[in-house]
Structure formats: structure tokens, C-alpha cells
Chain A
Amino acid sequence: MKVKRILRLIVGNEKQQAYTVPLLAILCSLIVSSILLLFMGRNPITAFQSILAGAGVLPRPNYAGGRGMFTDIMMTLSELTPMIFASLAVTVAFKGGLFNIGISGQMLFSGFIATVLIGYSELPSYIAMPLVIIIGTLCGAFIGALIGLLKAKFNINEVVSSIMLNYIIMYIISFFIQTRFIDPITRQSVEINSSARLVLQNVQVGPYRAVIPFFIILAIAAAFALRFFLNRTRAGFDLRAVGLNSRAARYLGIKPQLNIMVAMIISGALAGLAGVTHYLGFQGAMPTRELVGTGFDAIAVALLGNVSPIGSLFASVLITIISRGTTYMSSILDVQREIAQVITGFILLFSACGAFIKQVVNTSDVVTAEPEADDVPTEEGE
């Protein structure tokens, strides 16, 4: 009881919990990581500083020629772009009561189709770029629709079908890359033409050379658009209703099947955008037999972001900074790169606990404040 009371004091009411709980999770993970680093005989402050410096948020003491903080931050932003899209894809599926674990596959599919159709063409970039975006969106939406259709028509669990599709897509695409588009030196596909790339490469800004990932603006806009869609439109209302309680939705005359399709199509489309901004932006080539981790990390990022569009935006920033800063931190501290992943892991672990904390704090409120309100438990609960 005491623990509960203290927790309630810290995290506040349900509205405040939207940000207090993730912050608490981050704080806890920083403390635990610090202890870990101290055990290894490293200074945690230096570690966190070097992570920020590696991601371009803080300046490093010295840079190679033509590089600077600006270069680093632009690299971080170009990795951030697909992460935002991917975490939004997870968020919208969650809101519709679905778990889209196939984001990586959807990213790979749309990235590959866009690469093959546009990436190797000679189109000028003002035509190529919009086409890449459109193709990416459509391809992702197509895979999303497929998963949604299987769920809505045949009640096939979307987790199973999307994991299966991940592998199907990965191996089929690997086959085509290896037989048709392989670059024998890099063991990846031939590099994508710069006119079709979604980042501007080697741009000279003052003394520094950097990539300019301007599609980050689209990603941020997408977060706000998704928020508007979910909170302010009738279609978003229907979608959330189905996600929260599909039996009630049916009783209200909302069609769950239709909304499953809508949620998966939007989720797939966002995953498609993540795919093209990753492969045709940040990456610049298609790998073989490899699913990108972004699609899986995005699930945790969305959870850390409280399954809300704007929350996902902030969580993406945090996680991307940590993952970008890793290399530099490991060289400064002379620890393994994996340490950064351990820190990320702690953050995600604690944010998962955050959901638990919320449940503890809030259910105790409901059950105990109205001990006899629930004389009639729901049938699902039994």
C-alpha cells in the first residue's frame, strides 16, 4: 500500500502520467546504467556526454576534416526520419487494436520496389523524389492491406501473418537483389542513384559537409497529422473505438472489419515511408537477407512514447540519439558498443514497467475507490 501511495505521488493523475511515467522510466534506466558503468570502472557522466556528442547534440573535442557537429546531427536526423515513421506505424496499429510487427518487412518491400522502379532510373530528382515517396506509401499500404484483409476476412492473427510476411518478403527480395542488382564488393545492391535519394548528399554548409535529410519535416508533419486524425476526426474516433472495445463498436454500428483494414493500411503506408526514407535516404542501398532493426525498435519506441503520435516523436528522438552516439561512446570509454544497447534496453525495460506502474496505480484507484461498483464482472474477465 505504501509503495502504491508513493508511486501515485510521483506519477500524478492519469493525465500527468502521459509524461511522468516515461520520464520516470528514463530516469530509472539512467541510474541503473550508471551503476553498471561504475562497476565497469567508467565515469557515467562521460559516457552520457559522449553519447550526446556522438549523436551531434554536444560538440566533440575534435573532428576529422570537413566534419563537425552539424555533420553528426544531420546524420542523426537522417536516421531519425525512418524511426519516426515506423513508430507512428506501430502507434496507429495499436490504436486500432492491432500489433503490426511486420514493419521491417513492409519497409523492405517498399524500399525495394522504389529502388527498382526509380532508384536506378535517370529521372531528375524533382520527379524521382515524389515518385519514391508515392511508391513507398502505396507499397507499404498494400502489404498492410494484405495483413488487414487476412485479419478482417479470415480472422488470421496479424502478428503471425506479419511475421511470416517479414520472412517471405526478405527472402524473395534477397533473391532478386542477389541475382539482378548485386554489387560484388559491398555485397549489397548497387548503390541507388543520388537523384532518387531522399537526402541531399555532400552538401557544403559553411565549413562542413553533411547530408541534409529534409524529409524529416514530412515525418514530423505526419506525427501531427496522425494526431489530428486519431483525436479529431470521425474516422479516427471509429478506429479508436474498435481498438479499445470491438464488441462495443459492433453494438454502436461501427464495422470492426472495415476499421481493421483502415488501421493496417495507414500503418503499412507509414511503414512504407519509413522504408523509403531508410533505404533510399539514410542507407543508399538495399541489403540482402537482412531486416532492418528500426521496424522492431519502433514497437518499443511507440510504447515508450505512450502509444501516442507526439509521444512517439519524442521517443524516436531519444532512442535514435542513443543508437547514433554508441560508436563514439565506445571509442571514448573503451567499452563494447553493446553497452549502448544495454542502456537502450534498460530504457525500454523500464518503460514496459511504466505500463505496469500505471496499471498498479490506476486500478487500485478504481477497484478500491468503488469496491462494490463492479458487482458484474465482464464475461471476458472470467
Chain B
Amino acid sequence: MGNQTEKTRYELNKELAQMLKGGVIMDVTTPEQARIAQEAGACAVMALERIPADIRAAGGVSRMSDPAMIKGIQEAVSIPVMAKCRIGHFAEAQILEAIEIDYIDESEVLSPADDVYHIDKTQFKVPFVCGARDLGEALRRIEEGAAMIRTKGEPGTGDVIQAVRHMRQMNREIARIRSMREDELFDCVKELQVSYDLVKYVHENGRLPVVNFAAGGVATPADAALMMQLGAEGVFVGSGIFKSGDPQKRAAAIVKAVTNYKDAKLLAELSENLGEAMVGINEQEIALLMAERGK
């Protein structure tokens, strides 16, 4: 069944993201953490050597994880396994494809390898998810072949403000395009630097042509519910879980919060006695803005 056309492959990859909707994707650094995440109800895990909060603390260049470490996690769980490569580093992406990763995150969390070009993701069989701060970034990544989008937020901070800003920004721009006259779309194409077809899709459907998750700074069930109510179709939680006092309990609570994101009574129960949340960094205190990487 390997003889799928390029277009079919892309559709299948978008459809895998559809299956992840309403779910929580958790950062894990060991097979043990991956098992905890799966037990707690993660719909996929992101395998990486260091979670964003530690990357931030350690400084220096951060790269794709050791394939042996990723394979260990693939063997530990039955849910999809994702891994990160650097922006523009198509050789890292080729390596991740070779070990049959389920999803590649071309991620601003790692040090960018190219300050001009993103990876031509149409050249790959495995799907890509990319971060975006606004509609233009999202559509440019989709044009390059991304099958899923997430807000960039600000990873490793435990501060949700940037994810909120990015989600609201995307929604605002989608609403604007939705309300445009057809003859205004051509100018919008130039403004966003994307093809007419993508702008037309947004105009007609009032949404991105791929699934859109929230990421970057989600640390509590309330954060997850906030992002879902703002229109996210699911949530990535990076440092928020395994940097907290009781990862298992917090992970399970965030999963349930995403399922019942409008039920405040249940959210109140879920938020009780979760132990210490990760120590946050306010956006004014951040030395490195990862969201500025890759436009």
C-alpha cells in the first residue's frame, strides 16, 4: 500500500490530525514518561530529549533528539509518536521519517537551522505540524506542506498569554477574510504571501484547511479549557506536565478538561489538589522569544 499518490498521502496525513482532535499531546523525554502520558489519556506524545523549560534553562544550540531515544519511546506506547526537527533542517526530518515517526514538528523550540527557508514538506511522506502566530504564518506553512498547525505560544514558560494572543490573532484574521468581498481576496493573497486557493478556502469555510491545536504555555486544566473555548481543536502540553508536582494527576486532569472544556463545575473539580504547577516565567522576563523564530 506504499503506492499512494502525493495528494492522497497529504490527505491521509491531514486526516490523522483529525483523529487527534479533542485530545492532548504531551512532551515526554523517557519511555517511562511516555507510558505515564498514555495512561493519563494523551492522544499522542512528543518525544524529545529536553522539554522546552529545560532547553530554555540550558541555553546553547538545541537539536533533533537521538533516534535511539525516540525509538525507545515508540516501543513503549501504542499511541502516535511525534518528534521535533529544527526549522529548515530537512536532513533531520529525513532521519525522523526513516525511523517512521508518526508526525514531525518543525519547531521553533529547537535552534533554527535556516533563517530564510522552512522545510519543503511536500517532499515527505510523513506528516508535519508547524507553529504559527498569525494566519499568514499558518497558511505559509500549509502551503509548504504542513498537515497540522499549532499556535506557537511561548514554549517552556508556563505562561499562556502568547498562545491566547496567537489564537485570537488567527481567529480575527479568519473572520476578516470571511467577511471580505470576493474581489478583495486578491490583495489579501499579496498581504499574506500565500496562494489564492488557500485564501479562498478560508473565505469560504471560515477556518484553516487543517486541524489547529493550541501550544506554548499551557500548564493547567483551566489553561487548556481557555484555549479550547477560544477555538483550539486540541492542546499540546510541553513542560506543564513533567515540570509539575504530580505529573500523572495533572496530565489526567488536563485530558478531561479538554473533553469537557465548557463544564465549569467539572473543571473546578479537576483543578483541585493538583499539587505544584510548573514555575512560570512571565513574558517580560523572557530573554529568548522562541515564537520569533521562523516566519
A and B bound? no
Which A residues are closer than 8 A to B by beta carbons? none
Which B residues are closer than 8 A to A by beta carbons? none
